[in-house]
Amino acid sequence: KPTRIGLAGLAVMGQNLALNIAEKGFPISVYNRTTSKVDETVERAKKEGNLPLYGFHDPESFVKSIQKPRVVIMLVKAGAPVDQTIKTLSVYLEKGDCIIDGGNEWYENTERREKAMAELGLLYLGMGVSGGEEGARYGPSMMPGGSFEAYKYIEDILLKVSAQVPDSGPCVTFIGKGGSGNFVKMIHNGIECGDMQLIAEAYDVLKSVGKLSNEELQKVFSEWNKGELLSFLIEITADIFGIKDDKGDAYLVDKVLDKTGMKGTGKWTVQQAAELSIAAPTIESSLDARFLSGLKDERVEASKVFKAGGFGDILTDQEVDKSKLVDVRQALYASRICSYAQGMNLIRAKSIEKGWDLKLGELARIWKGGCIIRAVFLDRISRLMTGILILQTFLWTQSFRRRLLSDSLRGEGWYALLSTQVSAPQVLSTFKIAKQSKISVPISRRVQLEQNSPLSIITSAENFMLGGASINSFW
Ligand code: NDP
pLDDT digits 0-9 by tens, 121-135: 999 999 999 999 999
Q: Are residues 155 and 191 in the same domain?
A: no
**Among 20, 76, 101, which residue has the most ligand 1 atoms within 8 Å of its CB, making it the best to mutate?**
76
The answer to whether residues 117 and 123 touch, using CB atoms and an 8 Å cutoff, is yes
Residue type, 279: A
As a whole number, mean pLDDT of residues 147-154 equals: 96
The answer on 67 and 164 residing in a single domain is yes
**Mean pLDDT, residues 202-209 taken together:** 78
Q: What is the pLDDT of residue 42?
A: 98
**Alpha carbons 407 and 415: distance in angstroms, whole number:** 7
Cβ of 262 below 6 Å from ligand 1: no
Indicate whether 232 and 355 sit together in one domain.
yes
Clarify whether residues 113 and 159 are in a common domain.
Answer: yes
User: Which comes out higher in pLDDT, residue 370 or 423?
Assistant: 370
Q: 246-284: b or e for each residue (b if 16 or more CB lie within 10 Å)? A: eeeeebbbeebebbbeeeebbbbbbebbeebebebbbbb
**pLDDT the model gives residue 336:** 78
Task: Give me the pLDDT at residue 302, please.
Answer: 67
Confidence of residue 235 (pLDDT cuts 50, 70, 90): very high
* 355 contacts: CB under 8 Å, gap ≥ 6: 177
Residue nearest to atom 27 of ligand 1 (CA): 13
Provide the number of structural domains found in the chain: 2
- Give the gyration radius of the chain's Cα atoms: 24
Catalytic residue among 37, 177, 185, 350: 185
User: Atom 17 in ligand 1: which residue has the minimum CA distance?
Assistant: 81
Give φ, ψ of 375 to 5 degrees: -160, 145
| H/E run at residue 429 | helix 424-436
Conformation bin of residue 411: beta by default, left when phi > 0, alpha when psi is -120 to 50: left
**Domain residue limits at 406:** 186-473
Pick the closest to residue 170 from 193, 210, 142 (CA basis): 142
Question: Are 150 and 229 in a shared domain?
Answer: no
Q: Count helices and strands (H / E) in the chain.
A: 23, 9
At a CB cut-off of 8 Å and minimum separation 6, what does 375 contact?
229, 230, 231, 232, 233, 336, 340, 367, 368
How much distance in Å is there from the Cα of 81 to the middle of ligand 1?
A: 8
Question: What does the pLDDT read at residue 258?
Answer: 84
Whether pLDDT at 421 is above 50 = no
Does the pLDDT of residue 312 top 70, yes or no? no
Which of 68, 69, 62 is CA-nearest to residue 18? 62
Boundary of a domain, candidates 147, 178, 209: 178
- Same-domain pairing of 379 and 468: yes
- Flag whether pLDDT at 58 surpasses 90: yes
Which of 178, 210, 233 represents a domain boundary (last residue)? 178
Catalytic residue among 111, 114, 192, 201: 192
Asked whether residue 48 carries a pLDDT value surpassing 80, the answer given is: yes
Of 419 and 193, more confident:
193
Evaluated on CA atoms 207, 212, 218, 223, the torsion sign reads: negative
Contact 233, 199 (CB under 8 A): yes
Nearest to 15 by CA among 40, 35, 36, 33: 40
371 lines ligand 1 (CB under 6 A): no
Q: What sign has the CA pseudo-torsion 362, 160, 139, 97?
A: negative
Helix axes 232-240, 180-204, angle to 10 degrees: 40
Q: What is the mean pLDDT of residues 462-467?
A: 45
**399 burial level (CB within 10 Å; 0-12, 13-18, 19+):** exposed
Whether the CA torsion 443, 445, 446, 452 is positive or negative: it is positive
Mean pLDDT, the chain, as a whole number?
80
Task: Tell me, yes or no, whether 421 and 455 share the same domain.
Answer: yes
Strand order in the sheet with 98-101: 53-56, 28-31, 5-8, 71-74, 98-101, 123-130, 141-146
Same domain, yes or no: 206 and 166: no
Same-domain status, 322 and 437: yes
Residue 388 pLDDT more than 70? no
CATH number at residue 24: 3.40.50.720
Residue 140, pLDDT above cutoff 60: yes
The Å distance, Cα 195 to ligand 1 centre, comes to 25
Residue 326, pLDDT score? 62
Ligand 1 and 186: CB distance under 6 A: no
Q: Per mean pLDDT, which range of 36-50, 233-247, 281-295, 391-405 is the poorest?
A: 391-405
**417 shares its domain with 448:** yes
Its pTM surpasses 0.90: no
pLDDT of residue 306: 61
Is the confidence at residue 216, as pLDDT, over 90? Answer: yes
For residue 385, name the pLDDT band (cuts at 50, 70, 90). low
Helix (H, G, I), strand (E, B) or coil at 147: coil
Worst-scoring range by mean pLDDT, 128-132, 182-186, 460-464?
460-464
Same domain, 267 and 380: yes
Q: Tell me: cis bond preceding 69? Omega within 30 of 0 counts.
A: yes
ipTM, interface predicted TM-score of the complex: 0.98
Residue 23 identity (one-letter amino acid) = E
d(CA 6, CA 351): 31
Q: In the annotation, is 223 catalytic?
A: no
Q: Say which CATH number the domain at 374 has.
A: 1.10.1040.10
Using the Cα atoms of residue 411, residue 415, residue 417 and residue 421 in order, give the sign of their dihedral.
negative
Q: Which of 120, 146, 178 is the last residue of a domain?
A: 178
pLDDT band at 415 (very low <50, low <70, confident <90, very high): very low
Q: Evaluate: CB of 146 within 6 angstroms of ligand 1.
A: no
Alpha-carbon distance 392 to 383, whole Å?
A: 12
Of 432 and 294, the structure prediction assigns the larger pLDDT to 294
- Residue range 67-73: average pLDDT? 97
Specify whether 125 is located in the same domain as 98.
yes
DSSP assignment letter at 208:
I
